[in-house]
Amino acid sequence: MLRKINLIVKLLFLQLSARSQNVPFEKINFSNPLQSEIDSIIHEQVKAFFKKTKAPGLIIGISKNGEKKFYSYGVADSVSKQSFSPQTVFEIGSITKTFTANLLFQLEQQKIVNINNSIVSYLPTQFKNDSILEKITLVSLAIQSSGLPRLPDNFDKIKEYTLMQPYQFYKREHLYSFLKSIRKNNPGSYAYSNLGFGLLSTIIENATAMSFESLLNNAIFQPLQMDDTYIGSKKKASDSATGYFYGNPAAYWEFDCLAGAGAIKSTATDILKYLDAHIETNIENFSLAARLVTQPVKSISPNMQICYGWHTLEDLKHRVFWHNGGTYGFCSFAAFEPSTKTSLVLAANAFNINPALDKLATDILILLMGGDAEQ
C-alpha cells in the first residue's frame, strides 16, 4: 500500500510540475502548403485540435491511391525545436497489436500455431492440466475476448517496477506466476486487454523459439521495407521525437514478455507502407494474413466491430479499419479504408490526449472519403 501511495505522489508531482505548452496556434511552425481545399480544411481541423491539447507537435501522414502527403505541426522536441518529418521515429503504442495479430495469422498459415488451440498448448508443462486456462484460445486473445484483465494484478507489484517504465521488468516468471494464480475466468465478452496481446507475443515466441522482434522483422518489417521500425532500445535513430508526460520528457517504453501489446517504434512513412499493404500488396504471406485479421467477428457498439487486432468504424461513408495507441510520451492513430484506397496515420508527442487525436483522425477520414458520417 505504501508503495502505491508513493507512486501516486510521484504522478501528482509530475502533473503539478508540468511545463506549459500553450503556444498560440498562429506561432506554431507547420509544413502544410495550404495549396488545396483539403490542405486548408485539414489546417482548420488541426487548429481545433491544438486548442484542445498541449501537445508540442503533430505529424499526419496520408496515402490516397498510393499518393503520399505529410503535414507537420509544432515540434518533435521542445528543446531542439526540431519539427516532425515523415521519417521521425515515435512510439506507436497499441497499434502494435495489429502487427501481433498479422504475425499470428502468418504462423497459422505456416501451421506453426493453431489459432483455435488453447493457450496451454504453448505454455510450459506446469499449465498442462489447468482447466481455467484451457478455456482461453489464441483466437480469444486476438479478438480481445479472453476474459483476462487489462493488466495482470501483479504488474506493479514486482520488485523492479518503476512508474515511467512499467513494462520493462515484467518477465515471463511474473507472467506465469499471474496465470497460475487465476482462480476463475470467463472468456467470451469483449474486454480490451494489454495482457492478452502481451501473452500472445510470448506464446508466439514459445511456438517458434525466436524473439518477437526477429519474427516481426522477417514477416513484416523487412518485406514491407519498414526500415525505421523496430522494438528494442538498441536501435537509435538520428531523427527521433521526444515524448512528453505532463510536459516532462518521457523515455521510450522498453518491454520484455508483453511486447506484443505495444512495443513498436516507427515513422509516419513506415506506418503508411504498412497500412497500404492491407489494401494492396504482392507480398503473399502478409496479404493473406491481412485479409484474415480484418474479418469482423462481433459488434461491440452500434458503430464498431472487433476484428483480429483491428477495430472497425461502421458509421462513416465506408467501413474503416483502425487502431489507436498511447504511451507515456505519445498518442497515435492508424486507419485504412480499402474502397477509396485511403490510409491515415497521426502521432502527437504528448500523453493522454487520445480523444482529441481520435476526433481529428475521424474528421480527416470523413474528408478524405468524400462524405459525411452516417446519421
Residue 4, pLDDT > 80, answer no
Residue 315, pLDDT > 80, answer yes
User: Rounded mean pLDDT of 1-15?
Assistant: 49
Residue 20: pLDDT band (50, 70, 90) is very low
Q: What's the pLDDT score for residue 52? A: 92
Between CA 71 and CA 111 the distance in angstroms is 42
Q: What's the pLDDT score for residue 374? A: 44
List the single range of 2-11, 125-134, 314-323 with lowest mean pLDDT.
2-11
Average pLDDT of every residue of the chain: 93
Q: Contact at 8 Å (CB) between 171 and 220?
A: no
Q: What's the pLDDT score for residue 1? A: 46
Residue ranges of domains in the chain: 87-367
Residue 15, pLDDT > 60, answer no
User: Rounded mean pLDDT of 212-236?
Assistant: 90
Residue 5, pLDDT > 90, answer no
User: Rounded mean pLDDT of 203-218?
Assistant: 98
Q: What's the pLDDT score for residue 2? A: 44
Residue 375: pLDDT band (50, 70, 90) is very low
Residue 294: pLDDT band (50, 70, 90) is very high
User: Rounded mean pLDDT of 137-156?
Assistant: 98
Say which residue, 12 or 230, is predicted with more confidence: 230
Q: How much of the chain exceeds pLDDT 90, in percent?
A: 89
User: Rounded mean pLDDT of 305-310?
Assistant: 98
Residue 373, pLDDT > 50, answer no
Q: What's the pLDDT score for residue 71? A: 98
User: What is the CATH architecture of 87-367?
Assistant: 3-Layer(aba) Sandwich (3.40)
Q: Write the pLDDT tens digit of every residue in 334-362.
A: 999 999 999 999 999 999 999 999 999 99
Residue 232: pLDDT band (50, 70, 90) is confident
Q: What's the pLDDT score for residue 8? A: 45
Q: Write the pLDDT tens digit of every residue in 243-260.
A: 999 999 999 999 999 999
Residue 54, pLDDT > 50, answer yes
C-alpha cell at position 64:
490516397
User: Rounded mean pLDDT of 217-234?
Assistant: 92
User: Rounded mean pLDDT of 114-125?
Assistant: 98
Residue 372: pLDDT band (50, 70, 90) is low
Residue 283: pLDDT band (50, 70, 90) is very high
